[in-house]
Amino acid sequence: MHRQWSRVLALAGAVAACPAVVRAQTAATIAGRVTGEAGQPLVAASVFIPSLNYGTTTRTDGTYSFTVPANRVSGQTVAITARVVGYRAETVQITLRGGTITQNFTLATAPAQLSAVVVTGAGTVTTRERLGNVINSIDTTAIQRASAPQNVVAALAGKAPNVVVREQSGEPGSSASIKIRGVATVTGGASSQPLFVVDGQPIDNSTVSTNGGDQSTVTQNRAADINPNDIESIEILKSAAAAAIYGARAANGVVLITTKRGRAGTTSYTLNSTNTFDNIMKKDILQRSYAQGANGTAATCTVLNCTPDRRSWGPAVSGPTFDHIDDIFDTGTTFDENLNVTGGTERTLFFVSGGLTRQNGFIVGPNNYYNRATARLKASHRLFNSLNVGGNFYYVDTRGGYVQKGSNISGLLLGSLRTPPNFDNRQYIDSATGLHRSFRFPRPAPTSLTRSRGYDNPFFVLNNPGNKSELGRVNAQVNLDWRPLDWLRVQETFGADNYDDDRVEALPLTSSNRPDGQVTRFQQTNLEIDHNLLVTANYTIRPNWWTGTVSAGQELNSRRYRSVYVNGVTLNAPQPLDLQNTLSYQPSEFRSLQHIQGYFLQGTADLWNQLYLTGLVRDDGYSTFGASKRTALFPSASVAWSFSHALGNSDERGAFSFGKLRFGYGQTGREPPVYATISAFSTGSASLNEGFGSGYGDFINASQSGQGGLVNGFVLGNNDLRPERSTEREFGADLGFLDQRVTLGVTYYNKRSTDVIIALPVNAGQTGSTRALKNAATISNKGLEVEFNARIYQSKNLGFDLGAQFGRNRGLVEALAEGTEFIPYNLEGFTGAIGSSTVGYAPGVIRGLDFARCGRHLTIEGVGDIDALCGANAKKDALFLAEDGLPVPDPTDRVIADPNPKWTMGFSPTLRVSRLTLSAFLDVRRGGEVWNGTKGILYYFGTHKDTDIRNQQGAYGKNYMTSRYPDVAGPGANVTPFKTAQDWQAWMNGEGGGFGTVSGQFIESGSFTKLREVSLAYTADQPWVRRSLGVSSINVRVSGRNVAQWTPYTGFDPEANLGGAEFLTQGIDYFNNPVSRSFVIAFTVNR
């Protein structure tokens, strides 16, 4: 009987326990709303449970909800955190039980975002409070407002102090260069650009033109293949302390890009449509008063194939004139459409996106376009509670049509701006023969099919369909995230980045650059495979006293590059513009393969919740290192002390709410060029830049009369080459005031780069080579950075924020090789205005000749002692004028321009009124000089507006070139040398023009103030929107980029640069196509 009762009681107990078991196995749904202190909803705030790795983001009304599966719910107490940029994160404890749990958050203003998670590279992360160095986090909404959907690098302009961005032009497919804290090398192109890393995968951002950066067509930098709409966050690692984790590829800094990812919960959709209208920021630089001719006499052309005088120094125009700028430029359009889909369950997350960009440029005609189609799938799945697997696949297809530019007699602006005002370029086809005509060849005969036109008619140029590109790029990776223990995490990523770039550039028959026609085919393939393994262990010596992490990582990387260049000449027929239609062609091929094996060890210690220490060492082995030392170590260390915590203000509130001092030390490197350690043979091909000959079509090939030939390579191998090494010390402070409504960050850095690789001449008779690479140069960069942010007023329906930044960098080439004063970059500039690295100046200054100046201790043959002739009262650097009132060329080759700015500043106010937001960005750059080569040449031709002065008397120091030469001295200081139009013509056709020897006279200030961005946005997220339209919100934005500028520069734009990202030397203006001004209307629909 007793046994039966025991069974009954046991059964009753089990039945009674069932509801508790059911309750424990019920999923928990956490929901609520996140608002600011004034009650305004906070959009896109992250709400998550760190210990369980579950969470979501808030909707447009600030609400959120997510579900924790039943098998993770056991009535335990967990911490839940809400975080969003610009506000203090808040963490509360909740009891996790089955059913619905309501948890609201009210976040206090905190522009400093001390608790925000920051990606620090190679899979490592930390919070901003623990950083002992500067890492700039870029607001991705600001990237979208930048109105430059075709190039994410261009959109970074002005977003962080000492991050200087220059656009090649406003054309579709043009490149943008970026420099972080100056330049740490003397090599241009990708070697002076930072490393780009997307989702942990290094990607290629090189810029390689088809036929030279100073001519040819614009060339895209490859980071522009990224769809900005896919980006979730961007971190810029400036200092060596921050970037040392990337070792010998990080001397110029690192840009970390993280793309969007899936969020658990209901599937959401975002459709974005952006419509952009581009035009040039026109300046009136051409005269419309004087006709083609010379010495006041009109040019004549009375027979077929005549070549009248090319100048516009003729009589006053007595008929219609034409605007040779408005003629070739129109309003360009860009239509950018993107669809994002995100969602998932507690175990599976996904993000899918598709984008289509169709850009028709502001150059008239059908051959100025750039189209990009993108697709991304990023997903993850939790196989087990401790193991998460993920994948990320991205594909981009770009196709472009381009127009010839620059130092190119078949270039657009070169021919257009030289045209006399009374010649109508629009009539570019001769009515009698149907052939190409220009102002230098206005009456082509039927037999002139292979004759040069002197300069191509710009309408012939822009109607040339032969310049095209097609690119397909795939970036794919898989990753594992394993947490076998609470304190141990293992992350592994394997990825590949591959693109195939296929281009053709063609010059049709009658092209001035090649009258018999030319077709160039250029194909390049780049594959980079990268494997990363990271193991992180958390440790606690004593809670709230000493905690930290220890991380060990490995990187295996392989890069394979291949290119084929084929140049075909002499077209057999006018069409097609293909290689098979050329009479002869010359190919060349290049291949390279590079390997990296890197390891790093990093440790952190968080002491007393106020002192944060980080130490790292990376050991790199590169196949490009010399055999004498195959590996290199790159250490770094940083310390951050939140001294306000030590003063008892751990809650970070009050008038002085936060204070942190920080120091960082680190070393980074730049690897030697591929195969620089090897002495190889060369074919001496005429298609190479270094064939035998002058470079003007008189190459001599090693192969002759059908017999193959080889010669020593032009660069002698150096088996002792080491990576360039940059050592940097950084000091700074971060301060918060008024409950962190106001924050201030100040940073000083001192970076010194040693073992910088330069090319030095060698004895060709002994070695068979012309130069050798050596570790010889030293460069330093010192600077100051200031960041200020203030939330001046915040309420539910009104808010005003203000951000400001300041940056100053002083670059200096301390030493080159012994006995070497400068290294010229003969492909970056022109005779008399050549880019260089010169001892005592920043890298990339421009060298050439100037006129004689007082105080330079000059003695010029045939003139005498210049200082003595200037007189004792002459100001230093005053322009010396000879007895005829004209300056005298100084034969000394010297630095004539430094394109690097002295300092930069930016202001970004934001005003919010209910659902309406008005924001702007004012970009200020002071210092830096530009060589206005375009202006000098137009002086010669007499088409520049300044040549209207020909009907006046003039003199230096009075009414001519007073901005360049404000002070004059010497025996001719009071002489008037220009009394007639013939006087002006004689001077500008000689030393006073662009074909003279003195380029220094055309150096101008590159300072500017730009209203870089202005944006007005309205968000409709009221309940009626969901009820009536079935969507959660609609956003409408009207914005502009480069809306206005104030600059003393007299050319189109001081930012434009002929070579774009391919050149280290910036500040070269030689018939560059201008930067655009953009107006945007965008619509975003969320569901």
Q: Of the candidates 108, 143, 168, which is a domain's last residue?
A: 108
Q: Of the candidates 981, 1005, 1029, which is a domain's last residue?
A: 1005
Percentage above 70 pLDDT, the chain: 93
d(CA 252, CA 258): 20
And the tokens for 341?
A: 């889909």
**Highest mean pLDDT: which of 200-214, 898-912, 1016-1030?**
898-912
**Mean pLDDT of the region 1037-1042:** 92
d(CA 390, CA 932): 52
List all residues 6 or more positions away from 846 whose beta carbon is below 8 Å from its beta carbon: 829, 833, 834, 835, 836, 895, 896, 897, 898, 899, 929, 931, 999, 1003, 1065, 1067, 1068
Cα distances (Å, whole numbers) of residue 523 to 151, 520, 563, 564, 686: 22, 10, 5, 5, 18
Backbone angles phi, psi at 536, to 5 degrees: -125, 130
**Mean pLDDT of the region 723-727:** 96
Q: Of the candidates 983, 1005, 1027, which is a domain's last residue?
A: 1005
Mark whether 806 and 762 lie in a shared domain. Answer: yes
And the tokens for 1034?
A: 């609609």
Cα distances (Å, whole numbers) of residue 142 to 52, 235, 1083: 32, 14, 16
Higher pLDDT residue, 116 or 875? 875
| pLDDT range class, residue 115, cuts 50, 70, 90 | low
Higher pLDDT residue, 946 or 48? 946
Q: Is residue 421 part of a domain?
A: no
Task: Name the least confident of 5-14, 276-285, 408-417, 759-768.
Answer: 5-14
Cα distances (Å, whole numbers) of residue 436 to 21, 257, 304, 407, 410: 88, 48, 13, 20, 12
Backbone angles phi, psi at 646, to 5 degrees: -65, -25
Res. 618: pLDDT tops 70 = yes
CATH of the domain at 235: 2.40.170.20
Res. 745: pLDDT tops 50 = yes
**848-885 burial code (b ≥16 CB/10 A, e <16):** bbbbbbbebebebeebeebbebbeeebeeebbbbbeeb
The pLDDT, as a whole number, for residue 690 is 46
Task: Name the least confident of 52-66, 561-575, 883-897.
Answer: 52-66
Mark whether 216 and 68 lie in a shared domain. Answer: no
Res. 116: pLDDT tops 70 = no
| pLDDT range class, residue 699, cuts 50, 70, 90 | low
Mark whether 732 and 779 lie in a shared domain. Answer: yes
Higher pLDDT residue, 60 or 676? 676
**Mean pLDDT of the region 751-768:** 86
Higher pLDDT residue, 211 or 25? 211
The pLDDT, as a whole number, for residue 149 is 55
Res. 4: pLDDT tops 90 = no
- For 936-957, write each residue's pLDDT tens digit: 999 999 999 999 999 999 999 9
- For 553-575, write each residue's pLDDT tens digit: 999 999 999 999 999 999 999 99
pLDDT, the chain, mean = 89
Mark whether 98 and 154 lie in a shared domain. Answer: no
Name the one residue in this structure whose structure tokens are 């909803």: 41
The pLDDT, as a whole number, for residue 8 is 38
| pLDDT range class, residue 157, cuts 50, 70, 90 | confident
**Mean pLDDT of the region 517-530:** 97
Q: Is residue 709 part of a domain?
A: no
Mark whether 973 and 1071 lie in a shared domain. Answer: no
**Mean pLDDT of the region 372-391:** 94
Contact 349, 379 (CB under 8 A): yes
The pLDDT, as a whole number, for residue 11 is 38
Mark whether 72 and 144 lie in a shared domain. Answer: no
And the tokens for 406?
A: 């620059």
Q: Is residue 908 part of a domain?
A: no
The pLDDT, as a whole number, for residue 139 is 75
Q: Is residue 97 part of a domain?
A: yes
CATH of the domain at 85: 2.60.40.1120
Using alpha carbons, select from 190, 300, 181, 166 the residue that is nearest to residue 242: 181
**Mean pLDDT of the region 685-705:** 52
List all residues 6 or more positions away from 384 whose beta carbon is below 8 Å from its beta carbon: none
d(CA 1013, CA 158): 10
**β-pairing verdict for 1008-1020 and 124-127:** unpaired
Contact 588, 687 (CB under 8 A): yes
Res. 973: pLDDT tops 80 = yes
Mark whether 675 and 736 lie in a shared domain. Answer: yes
CA-CA-CA-CA torsion sign (191, 194, 196, 202): positive
Res. 119: pLDDT tops 70 = no
Res. 111: pLDDT tops 60 = no
d(CA 525, CA 590): 11
Task: Name the least confident of 479-493, 570-584, 718-732, 1047-1061.
Answer: 1047-1061
Q: Is residue 827 part of a domain?
A: no
Res. 362: pLDDT tops 50 = yes
Mark whether 342 and 462 lie in a shared domain. Answer: yes
- For 985-1002, write each residue's pLDDT tens digit: 999 999 999 999 999 999
The pLDDT, as a whole number, for residue 684 is 57
**Mean pLDDT of the region 977-982:** 96
Q: Is residue 1018 part of a domain?
A: no
Percentage above 90 pLDDT, the chain: 69
The pLDDT, as a whole number, for residue 26 is 84
Q: Is residue 187 part of a domain?
A: yes
Mark whether 208 and 102 lie in a shared domain. Answer: no
Q: Is residue 317 part of a domain?
A: no
The pLDDT, as a whole number, for residue 6 is 44
Count the domains in the chain. 3
Mark whether 86 and 152 lie in a shared domain. Answer: no
d(CA 998, CA 786): 40
Res. 77: pLDDT tops 70 = yes
The pLDDT, as a whole number, for residue 471 is 97
| pLDDT range class, residue 592, cuts 50, 70, 90 | very high
Mark whether 884 and 814 lie in a shared domain. Answer: no
d(CA 629, CA 26): 62
Mark whether 103 and 143 lie in a shared domain. Answer: no
Domain carrying residue 858? 850-892+929-1005
